[in-house]
A and B are shown apart, each in its own frame.
Chain A
Amino acid sequence: MKVMIVDDEAPARALLAEYLEAHPDCQLVAQAAQGLEAVELAERHRPDLMLLDIQMPGLDGFEVIEALEHRPLVVFTTAYDEYALKAFEVGAVDYLLKPFSEERFAQAMERAAERLARGDHPALDSIVAAARRGRSPLSRVLLRHEGRLYVLPTERIDYIEARGDYASFHVGKEALAKQQSLGELEELLDPRQFARIHRSYLLNLSRLARFELYAKDSRVAILKDGTRLPVSRAGYARVRELAG
């Protein structure tokens, strides 16, 4: 079994490596000290099991799971007991509360080996959805563009456009795509920051300059950079309500 350690604290990484020595069937393939590095190394080494801390600089443990394309089994290691429920929602094999004993660690490894032998991976979509929930309102969005991982703070997004199964995030002149529905994004984003102005558009309200009437009863939103977006009647009503 290929194992990867992700923890921002060096002593914690050393302890896991030491505990692992008692498991000759396990091979330590990589160690990461922060989220983005973890995603990068996991893509390269394809571990079967990830021993994952939750509170880390860069991406936190749940975000690492969300960002991974190749998904390993996960055992969370953390000093916080308040994430346990969410950890099992995202299909974690086990949840180790720091500090934990070698015996407790061996137990978790046994569970992981069983799961691996059974080929028992929980449905991917439900994991990702669960990882995204509970962190709302989102303060940043993870997405891949041309093979690279981007962490996009929501305040940098101008607007989001629906394109089939994808959501297209417009940032200045660039557009980054992610497989996610606009409806789901609308639920996850802060409703005071983003408004659904149209079936196909979620607008960052701080970018709005004004509305313009272009035909009887139908409007366009003019953004501060001059971009024009269609506005539905319901969308207009929603923004008016927010503006009070």
Chain B
Amino acid sequence: MYSPFAQPRLTFLYLGAWWLASGLVLVALLAPQGAGILAASTLAASMAGLSALLSLVVYYPCRALPPSSANAGKLLLAHGAGAALSSSLWLAAGELLSRGLAGWRPLLPARMLFLEHQALLAVVGLLFYLAAALVHSFALVFEETQRTRTRELSLEVKARDAELAALRAQIDPHFLFNSLHSLAALCGSDPKAARAMAIRLADFFRARLGAARQKLVPLGEELELASAYLEVERVRFGERLSWRLEALPEARQALVPPLLLQPLVENAVRHGIAPRVEGGEILISAAREDTQLEIAVVNPVDEASPRRPGAGVGLSLVRDRLRLSFGRQARLETAAENQEFRVRLVVPLSGENPS
């Protein structure tokens, strides 16, 4: 919660500002009273100092009675009483102070000034109290709204995170069922191949579930996951599916959010290879350039075939993840030309990179 005492620096700043502002008001009021500029300004400066100290104390009634929670009548009563008390205290202190000042002859007019204008000063004291109450209340309300907003924002981010995590953990059910069907088929005709397929599927699922739990993983692990996935799909698609991975070790070490690549690879199979009678090759490449990592997934497309359901979901998921992880520092671009679909990802290299 806001408090002028939160930091000594803040307290001094507040005192200084209040002293200056109220001092100027007092000089403006007292200087024309014919007591001489020296007397007027000395009295103004010392009274302003007292006022600054008092205004700090006003923070406590404001905190006890925040404007958002109390009713207007109660507020008026409390602050009316507070203003009267504060103003009387200020005058009492002024009485002592002006007597002290009068001990030095040249400042005798200051004492006279004080005695002659006590009524004016009493009113000014009330107004100063109200001004201080306003300042503190505003600060309290402002800070409260800020806090609520921050809380709302962080809740929103958390909800988004949970949604993304759920999506990340999600495995395409058709992939699962088709793979199990292939597995069932192989059991009869080629038990060894069936065993190999079961192991590949297990490898893929283990890697996939593991990746969903990490915050950042080396790109190399992402590429291995992609390979495990493609190996399984290869059993179904046979000769129609081939792929190439091009990544130097330095690119493989770069850290990326897990499962960043996977939706792109699954898209390449589902929307690129599956609808094409002749199949084709998927190219996955990654390269490090200065402070960036560039990843590309390229697949052939059959422009004549209708779009299969689900196109675009994977891409928007990747876009969301990039925005959450890197803000505006990451880019995702797509291009379709010459029967080819190309997705290009550019992400900043994470500070936690080992190299």
Contact = CB atoms under 8 A, between A and B. Distances in A.
Interface of A: 8-12, 14-15, 18, 34, 36, 55, 57-58, 79-80, 97-100, 135, 139-140, 151, 153
A15 B277 contact: no
Interface of B: 173-174, 177-178, 180-186, 188-189, 235-238, 274-277, 279, 302, 304-308
Main SS class of interface, B: helix
Contact of A15 (B188, B238, B275): B188
A9 B277 contact: no
A159 B115 CA distance: 102
A9 B189 CA distance: 14
Contacts of B307: 139
A79 B178 contact: yes
A98 B177 contact: yes
Given A11-B186, A11-B235, A11-B236, A153 B180 contact: no
Main SS class of interface, A: loop
Contacts of A12: 181-182, 185, 236
A102 to B, nearest CB: 9
Nearest to B172: A79
A98 B180 CA distance: 8
Residue among A99, A100, A153 with most chain B CB within 10 A: A99
B269 to A, nearest CB: 12
A103 to B, nearest CB: 13
Nearest to A34: B277
B304 A140 contact: yes
B240 to A, nearest CB: 8
A151 to B, nearest CB: 7
Given A55-B274, A79-B177, A97-B177, A9 B236 contact: yes
B235 A57 contact: no
B302 A11 contact: no
A139 B274 contact: no
Contacts of B277: 34, 36, 57-58
B196 to A, nearest CB: 13
Given A12-B182, A140-B306, 13 more contacts: A9-B181, A9-B237, A11-B185, A12-B185, A14-B185, A15-B188, A18-B188, A18-B189, A57-B275, A57-B277, A79-B174, A98-B180, A99-B184
Given A11-B235, A15-B188, A98 B181 contact: yes
Contact of B174 (A36, A80, A140): A80
A99 B186 CA distance: 12
A80 B188 CA distance: 23
Nearest to A9: B236
A14 B177 contact: no
A168 B198 CA distance: 52
A80 B172 CA distance: 11
Contacts of B275: 57
A74 to B, nearest CB: 19
B208 to A, nearest CB: 18
Contact of A11 (B177, B181, B279): B181
B304 A9 contact: no
Contacts of A10: 236, 238
A15 B184 contact: yes
A57 B241 CA distance: 13
A80 to B, nearest CB: 6
A11 B234 CA distance: 11
Nearest to B180: A99
A193 B276 CA distance: 25
B308 to A, nearest CB: 7
